[in-house]
Structure formats: C-alpha cells, structure tokens
Amino acid sequence: MPARNDPQVYARRLRAVLISSIPVLEARGIVIVLMAGTVGAIAGALVTGMSALVQSMHWLLFDVQPGGRLSAMFSLADPVQAMFPAIGGLLLGLSVIWLRKRKFRTPVDPIEANALYGGRMSLTDTFIIVAQTMISSGFGASVGLEAGYTQIGSGIASRLARAFHLRRNDVRMLVGCGAAGAIAAAFDAPLTGAFYGFELVIGIYSVANVAPVMTAAIAASLTAEMFGGVPFPLELSGLPNLTASEYVPFLLLGLLGGAASIAIMHLVSIVERVFVRLSIDASVRPFIGGIFVGLLGLVTPQVLSSGHGALHREFAMNYALPVVASVFVLKLAASAISLGSGFRGGLFFASLFLGALLGKVFAGVMAMTAPSAGIDPAVAAVVGMTSLAVGVVGGPLTMTFLALESTRDLTLTGVVLAASIMSAILVRETFGYSFSTWRFHLRGETIRSAHDVGWMRSLTVGSMMRKDVRTIPASTTLAEFRKEVPLGSGQRVIAVEQADQYVGMLLVPELHSDRSDGDTPVSALAQFKDAVLVPSMNVQTAAETFQRTGAEELAVVEDFDERIVLGLLTESHLMRRYAEELDKARRDLSGEG
C-alpha cells in the first residue's frame, strides 16, 4: 500500500480534483490555455538552457568569446580545432552502437508523432534526440539545434497531456504548443513559433487552436527573455518601399529558393546513399563526416554549427559576390555532409543562412545583368532567406512572420509572403515534401504534412470490404453463366480457380450482352485480372488503386501471391467512408465534436 506522502498519490488526487471540478477535462477553455502556458514556459526555459550549454561547449572547444558565435569567427584559433567535429562524430557513433545493442527503435519527432501516433511521444526518444543534437552542434557539425528544441518542448507537452489522460486531439494540440513555444523562445518570435505549430505540427489553423498555441508561444518567449535568452533581430535600415510592380524579380528569387531547397534535400540523400554503397557502418559515418566538416571549417568557420553568427555577419557586412558564392557552396556541402553522415540536427537555421547567401548572390548577379532593376541586397537576402527555408522546413506563414519579427519592418511582409508562396508551390508541385517529411518518405512513410493521418491508416480495406461475395469457377462457359446468374440477380461475380484463387471480375450486364460464343469460358471475359486489393491497404492506397485501374469495384484477396478471395470493395463505398471520417476529423480539430 503506497504511503500517504507518495508523490504518485498526490498526482492521482490532483487529477481527480481537476476532473471532478471541471465537467469536461478535454483541454478546452481555460484548462488548455493554462496547460499550454505551462508547456510554453517549460519549453522556453529548456531551450535557453540548451542554447547556453552549446555555447559553453563552443567556448571550451573553439575559444569562442562570451557573447560571440562560432560561425562568426573569421578563422579557427588553432588548426587542431578542426578535429572537434570528428570527435563529436565519434561520440555519436558510440551512441549509435549503444542504442543498437539495446534495440531502440528510431526516435519519433513531433511531426511524425502528431501524424501517426496521435501526439504520443516517448521521453526516452526526446532525451536521445536532445543529447545527440547538442553533441552534433556543440562539436561544430553544420546542423542547428531547432530539432532538439522542438523535440524537448513537444516531448514534455505530450507527457503532460497523457498524464491527465487527455483525448487524442487534445494531446496533438499540446504537442503543437510545445513546438510553438520552442521556436518562439529560440527566435524571440511568438508569431513565428505559433505558426510553426499551426503549419508544421498541428497541421491546421482553427479558432479552437489560437488561444492555447499563442499562449504557449508568448509564455515561452517571455521565459526565454527572463532567463537571458539571446534574441534574433536582424538590424536593417534604409530599406526601400516596394510596390507590387517591383515584386517580379523577387518572385523569381522565390522560385530559385524553392529549387535550391529541393537540390539540398536531394544532396543530403545522395550523401547518405554514398555511405550505404560504400558499406560504411552507421556508427562510423559521423566520424568520417566530421573529418570533412572540420576541413571545411579550416577554410571558414562560417560553415560550422547552425550559422547564427555567420548570418548576422552576412547582413552587417557587404562581401564581394565571389566570397558570398563560395561561402554558399561550402555551407551547403558542410550541411549535406553533416546530415548525410548521421549527425543529429536539422536544416532550419542552415536553410535561413543559405537562403540569405542565395539572395545576395541573386542581387549581385542582377546588378551585373540588369542594373536598372535596382535590387536591394538586404531585401534580396531576407527574401532568399525565407523562400529557401520555406522549401526546406515548410510553412510560408511561419517564415513570413520570422522575417517580420526579426527585421521589425512591415514593408517586407508583402514581398516575403509572395516569394514564400512561390517557393512553397514549386516544392509542393514538383517534389511534394519538406525536409522532415522527405526523410519520412525515405524510410517508407507516406506523410506529406502534419495533418493527422492516423485515422486514414486505421481505415483499412479489411474494415470496409464486403465478405458476402458471389464466386463462380473460371472454367464456366458463357451459356452456363447466363443460366446460373440471370440478368438482374446481381451486378458482379468473381471468377475463381481452385481454392478460391482470384482470376478476374465478371460484370453481369456485360456478360449477358456479350456476343461471344456460348462455349467461351468466362475467364476470357473477366476484367481487372491484375488489379486487386489486400486487407492491410489503407484508404489512400486503395483510392489510388481505383484511380489507376479505372475500376468501380475490386476484389480483396488474402495476399498478392496466393490471391485467395476474401471479399469485395466498391469505390463508392470507400469514398463515402473516407468522407465520413474526414468530416469527423475536421469537426474534432475545430472543436465541434
């Protein structure tokens, strides 16, 4: 029997009091707002602590002065410091071996958790990702901490929501609040954090979500400021007032940013495939990648870590076009090698830095080829920064608000949003994934956005098919078929061989109107012989099969090898069930259900 002062006893009593005093504890109204504020404050404190620890690592390893940034250094103080990314890779390799021995599965991040698991996240996964991200960035790998930030914020939020037994959609909302708070604290940008939660984690903007997500973002930003978090303003002055007619070159820059983001994602995958083809074990890859990153760091430290200092330096100084272009290439290589070799982290901030460099390159080229266009380098840098980041991270509104909150300049909002939308459209229509969802795709997942597809996965062919189907031997002649299956007795019959093996679909009206000889076996008149469904298919895969074959009904077989007939599914029934579940999901997300 637990002691009276057992903390678990008090936790259960607190939950019982809350449930009894609030008729519906479903994370709505004041309860969810208070919980979101708590999550935001925790996220703000943890993000500030993680940032301070990594800065301390940079001070110890790279002699970065207090208040300085690793990527803002003009050169490494000692060439020996170029070894530290490899040492960090060695530590990561050891962690891979340790996790492999204990058979840990691949950690789940907030986007995947909300899309597939109803917001359920493991604190073990969370601490693994946070530790690996801090090692990666702390030892100089060209990755950002944002993945660790959102992981810790969302992981804590998920655990808190499940501790109070909140329902699925409420857990998802709090996970989004955790991610929103983390980004808001990292950039001192509440609107940016809020829309990161809306666009990338929750997957939908609704009135029911506004209060908790904004509360979490504001609470996180205030907490980070209270604990001494470093803000992210870009000091720009003298920017021109742009009219709509002057947007055209920047729309082109938006398309270039989208194309560059696609190239970056492919480049990371290419690096990964190179390591696989060379049969290099996953525990060794970070060490090898760290060697190359360290060598690039000898050329310029701007390629190391996330690039905060380098980005501010790029806006503060006016470098020549060849210098900017060379830094762009070096940073791109360092980021691709870091992620492709197995360092933990993300491309959020790296994409901002690369985009700013791309914008400056664009402005430099335009100044030489079309000087009459009058492209301002600072405006081009901001537009490039956001448009490339939209392609990599996703979320046009997130990046637009980041530009607004970091520059404090409303005049840029229109052109940044327009360029961001152009980038998002290009990536969506030609590539289809952001960096996060692209990496899920490489693992075999079908996630394209943060919208919860868990209900789609549970809505399987097996749960929708009809089992009362009529079959007939495939050797039956047409004349015998017409006697056994008179016109009007049904719409379709499935032709089978011995042991109910599928041969094809027989459409009753068509066989009665067919002018073939009566001795013709029905197998010769069967349709959709190679198109079948299996019970494990989800609604999306089944719908794609219907669309590809042009069929209105398909047989459901046990598997693709034996093809034992189990039932039948019509396209109309599938789409009706899909519409019902989609409508239910939308009602739940909007707070109506």
Alpha carbons 489 and 319: distance in angstroms, whole number: 81
Question: How high is the pLDDT of residue 176?
Answer: 92
Q: Where does 431-530 show beta strands of DSSP type E?
A: 471-473, 492-496, 502-507
- Give residue 223's pLDDT band: very low, low, confident or very high (50, 70, 90): very high
Most confident of 27-41, 82-96, 237-251, 266-280: 82-96
For the chain, how many residues are written? 593
Render pLDDT for 396-455 as a digit per residue (tens, 0 to 9): 888 888 888 888 877 788 888 899 999 989 988 887 767 766 666 555 455 555 554 555
Query: 239 with 412: CB under 8 angstroms?
Result: yes
Render pLDDT for 110-147 as a digit per residue (tens, 0 to 9): 887 877 677 888 888 899 999 999 999 999 999 989 98
Question: How high is the pLDDT of residue 590?
Answer: 47
User: Is residue 20 over pLDDT 60?
Assistant: no
Question: Residues 6 or more apart from 573 whose CB is under 8 A from it?
Answer: 464, 466
Structure tokens at 87: 């040492």
Alpha carbons 514 and 518: distance in angstroms, whole number: 10
Question: How high is the pLDDT of residue 99?
Answer: 87
Render pLDDT for 175-185 as a digit per residue (tens, 0 to 9): 999 999 999 99
Q: At what angle do helices 207-226 and 571-590 cross, to 10 degrees?
A: 50
Q: What is the mean pLDDT of residues 182-202?
A: 91
Cα dihedral 240, 242, 247, 253 in deg (nearest 10)? 30
How deeply is 75 buried, as exposed, middle or buried, from its count of CB atoms within 10 A (0-12, 13-18, 19+)?
A: exposed
Question: Which segment of 105-119, 164-178, 183-197, 342-356 scores lowest on mean pLDDT?
Answer: 105-119
Q: What is the mean pLDDT of residues 506-523?
A: 86
Alpha carbons 487 and 513: distance in angstroms, whole number: 10
Render pLDDT for 469-505 as a digit per residue (tens, 0 to 9): 889 999 999 999 998 988 877 788 999 998 789 999 9
- Give residue 586's pLDDT band: very low, low, confident or very high (50, 70, 90): low
Domains assigned to the chain: 19-227 (1.10.3080.10), 244-449 (1.10.3080.10), 456-584 (3.10.580.10)
Give the pairing type, strands 492-496 and 471-473: parallel
Cα→Cα distances 87→10, 61, 92, 130, 288, Å = 45, 11, 9, 18, 10
The candidate with the shortest Cα–Cα distance to 419, out of 380, 468, 461, is 380
Alpha carbons 461 and 466: distance in angstroms, whole number: 10
Question: How high is the pLDDT of residue 298?
Answer: 94
Place of tokens 């390629």: 303
**pTM of this prediction?**
0.73
Q: Where does 375-534 show beta strands of DSSP type E?
A: 471-473, 492-496, 502-507
Alpha carbons 387 and 398: distance in angstroms, whole number: 11
Question: How high is the pLDDT of residue 581?
Answer: 67
Q: What is the mean pLDDT of residues 183-196?
A: 92
Cα→Cα distances 579→172, 182, 420, 536, 556, Å = 22, 35, 31, 20, 21
Alpha carbons 165 and 158: distance in angstroms, whole number: 10
Q: What is the mean pLDDT of residues 336-364?
A: 91
Query: 298 with 82: CB under 8 angstroms?
Result: yes
By three-state DSSP, how is residue 473 classified? Answer: strand
User: Is residue 4 over pLDDT 50?
Assistant: no
Question: How high is the pLDDT of residue 332?
Answer: 94
Which of 355 and 230 is assigned the larger pLDDT? 355
Q: Where does 142-224 show beta strands of DSSP type E?
A: none
- Give residue 68's pLDDT band: very low, low, confident or very high (50, 70, 90): confident
Question: How high is the pLDDT of residue 440?
Answer: 60
The candidate with the shortest Cα–Cα distance to 192, out of 22, 13, 386, 344, is 386
Render pLDDT for 271-304 as a digit per residue (tens, 0 to 9): 988 998 888 998 999 999 999 999 999 999 999 9
